[in-house]
Amino acid sequence: MGEVAVPAEIDELIERQWTRLRRGGTWFSAGERTLIAASARGIPLPDIDTPAATAAQMIHDEPAHITRDWLAELEANGLTLAEYVEVLGIVSQLRAIDTFEFGVGRPTRPLPEPTAEGPSPAVVTDATINGGWVPTVGPAFPPSVLSSVPAENEAAMEDIHGVLYLAPTAGEGYTMGNMTVVRDGLSRTQMEFVAARTSLVNECFF
Amino acid sequence: MLRASAEANDETIDMSGIGSVSIDSGVPGDRVLTALTDAAILRDPDEMETARARSIEELGEATTMRALAVAGNFEMMNRLLDAIGVGPPQRIIGIGDEIGVPLPERFRSQFS
């Protein structure tokens, strides 16, 4: 059996993600972003022993084993919490795409060639430590995890989340507020079963 | 959300079926969805091919694709929460016992 047919909206999402990855971010240049992605995938690279690379590998491979002490060590080695949030955004989004493409039978998508763009730093002044280990706008909760780096938050929560699963809003259609939604023949209950099983395998108990 | 969606759809489910394939959860296609999800998350190429074929046979190609999309999304969401130390809210702290997988102590101790 070959690759499972993928709807255009998901392929378009993946193209947007690859464009985001190859461009400069908030705290990292385009080149640094693709190196972070490569580290997450376990691609051996010379001179890549940076706190960002360490963070990328851990987030990708063993997220359930991340502790505050481990994060503190990264900070002591020079990684700011804002940078950590951007790494988290890059790696978690990459994992979503990679897992999907592996599942449907596609080969691993090569990482994009980065542009020459540098970072565009932007501090979110109303992000504070509020229930999590990184600053968030409001309490630390699924929709706010990446809120101190808006570009990552938009990519994850306003794009990927809605295209792959459901939009994090109320209302009719493909939204989390719609408890009777069926998407491509998969019922809401089946969706939540897959979500629960994924979380169980990843040892995530939220 | 699984319990809430089942109630909204007038379905009876057994949450312990999430943690054990030998238990019928009451969710249609739960066995093939479990195999599909596990193979994708654990990146097992041999199991993936078999699981995908069985899912397509039982649920159809589009539904299989969507299940994989959901799994991908939660690969992202799990990492977002674990990487910043957000655990389950107190109201669902007993969920681990219900699905047959006890919660790690690091989550229980925050409420003791």
What would the pLDDT profile of A71-102 be if each residue is shown by its tens digit? 999 999 999 999 999 999 999 999 999 999 99
Give the orientation angle of helix A51-61 with respect to helix B61-83, to 10 degrees: 130
Contact with chain B for residue A128, Cβ under 8 A: no
Taking only residues 8 to 27 of chain A, the set having a beta carbon closer than 8 angstroms to any beta carbon of chain B reads: 10
What burial class does residue A172 get, using C-beta atoms within 10 Å of its C-beta: 0-12 exposed, 13-18 middle, 19+ buried? Answer: exposed
The pLDDT of residue B97 is: 65
Contact with chain B for residue A63, Cβ under 8 A: yes
Nearest to A201 among B11, B41, B66 (CB): B41
Interval A87-145: pLDDT, tens = 999 999 999 999 999 999 999 999 999 999 999 999 999 999 999 999 999 999 999 99
Lowest-confidence segment of A63-67, B47-51, B67-71, B88-92 by average pLDDT? B88-92
Tokens standing for A58?
């851990």
Tell me how far apart the alpha carbons of residues A139 and A191 are, in angstroms, rounded to a whole number: 26
Contact with chain B for residue A95, Cβ under 8 A: yes
> Given an 8 Å threshold on Cβ–Cβ distance, is B48 in contact with A103?
yes
Helical (H) or strand (E) element with A129: strand A128-129
Contact with chain B for residue A129, Cβ under 8 A: no
The confidence band for A49, taking pLDDT boundaries of 50, 70 and 90, is confident
The confidence band for B111, taking pLDDT boundaries of 50, 70 and 90, is low
> Given an 8 Å threshold on Cβ–Cβ distance, is B79 in contact with A63?
yes
Nearest to A96 among B38, B53, B76 (CB): B76
Lowest-confidence segment of A26-35, A54-63, A74-83, B3-12 by average pLDDT? B3-12
Lowest-confidence segment of A151-165, A191-205, B50-64 by average pLDDT? A191-205
Q: Is the pLDDT of residue B112 over 60?
A: no
Q: Is the pLDDT of residue A203 over 70?
A: yes
The upper half-sphere exposure of residue A97, i.e. CA atoms within 13 Å in the direction of its Cβ, equals 27
Tokens standing for B13?
């489910």
The pLDDT of residue B99 is: 63
The structural domains of chain A, with segments of one domain joined by +, span 8-164, 170-206
Q: Is the pLDDT of residue B100 over 70?
A: no
The pLDDT of residue A109 is: 98
pTM above 0.90, yes or no: yes
Measured between beta carbons, the chain B residues lying within 8 angstroms of A140 are 84-86
Contact with chain B for residue A105, Cβ under 8 A: yes
Question: Is this prediction's ipTM beyond 0.90?
Answer: yes
DSSP character string of A166-196: -BSS-SSSSBTT-TT-EETTEEHHHHHHHHH
The pLDDT of residue A82 is: 97
Tell me how far apart the alpha carbons of residues A166 and A181 are, in angstroms, rounded to a whole number: 9
Helical (H) or strand (E) element with A182: strand A182-183
The pLDDT of residue A47 is: 67
The pLDDT of residue B110 is: 56
The pLDDT of residue B103 is: 63
Q: Mean pLDDT, to the nearest integer, of B31-48?
A: 96
Q: Mean pLDDT, to the nearest integer, of B15-31?
A: 85
Share the mean pLDDT of chain A: 95
Q: Is the pLDDT of residue B42 over 90?
A: yes
